[in-house]
Amino acid sequence: MYWIGTLLFLNIAPNTIIYLPMLLSMTSYGRASGLLNKQNISIEIKTLNSKFVDVRMKLPTWLQEYEMEIRKFLHDKILRGKIEATFTFENQHSNESYGINEAAFTSYYNQLKTIAEKMDLASSDMLGTIMRLPDVVTTSDQPVSEDDWKIVSQVMQDALENLGTHRLEEGAAIERDMRLQIEFIVDQLQGILPFENERIDKVRQRMASSLEEYLMRDNVDENRFEQEVLFYLEKIDITEEKVRLQQHCEYFLQELDNPDLNKGRKLNFISQEMGREINTLGAKAYSSDIQRFVVLMKDALEKIKEQLANVV
């Protein structure tokens, strides 16, 4: 199995590739490590849900010149979500030459001393504190060579592939749950059918009873009464809402099968349309039995929306 861009491929046999359409989760984690000269390289990439791509990185000083290239690489590959990438380089040998960044040390010292005097704090352990601050202790890093950058790039690619695998695993779990919720909504929609004719009969009886009570039935024009009943029943007819909701559910499942992995926004739009039809069903129901089905459909749709908040 391997990851290329936004596509996942599975090698079943030599020269045989099967494409797997799936969802991607925005919440995932990937890590990879390698060796560069005398340093262990560790790259961790974590993604969280977000409407847009937001890249945040922690890079060592000597790798700052590649910041824009790394940022673009992550932006293009991960597609959507908040991205946190940490690049860690640990020295394996104790004979590496170290030095003190005097300018950084002096700056830290002056700032800490000023704060300590203002707040009447003890400054006895200021040396140890400063030595642990960023960029005070430096190594004799050499400029990054082309070969060094290739190694860093490969480790970053490995971390991204691990991230992609995790995103697909999480996305598969989300997809399974959403399919179950869509199936549940369709089942509830079918459950409404037996109560529709009963609802119409109840409406007709209620209107006839009201006329009998207030106007006496003998004084009522039967043709006009039937026209009014039909007019009222047309206003509360839910056939169109049921058909559209059924179509939206089918469209949602079709999009889940779509090979494009970047489909969270489209699925979210479809879920909004589903919500409108369910709300209209509830408004036009005039039946406690149908309202119970509507409540169950709303609950299932909310679960889908919660899942979609974490889909690329």
* pLDDT, tens only, 264-296: 999 999 999 999 999 999 988 888 889 999 999
**CA–CA separation, 267 vs 300, rounded Å?**
15
How many residues in total does the chain contain?
312
Name the pTM for this structure. Answer: 0.68
Please state, in angstroms and rounded to a whole number, the distance separating the CA atoms of residues 152 and 89: 10
Domain ranges of the chain: 2-170, 174-308
Mean pLDDT across the chain, nearest whole number? 81
Among 233-237, 243-247, 262-266, 307-311, where is mean pLDDT lowest?
233-237
The letter for the amino acid at 65 is E
Give me Rg for the CA atoms of the chain.
32
Q: Which residues contact 98 (CB under 8 A, 6 or more apart)?
A: 137, 138, 139, 140
**CB 216: neighbour CB atoms within 10 A?**
9
Measured CA to CA in angstroms, residue 118 lies from 122, 125, 141, 167 at distances of 11, 17, 38, 50
Tokens of 123: 């400054």
Q: What secondary structure, in 3-state letters, does 60-107 show?
A: CHHHHHHHHHHHHHHHHHHCCEEEEEEEEEEECCCCCCEEECHHHHHH
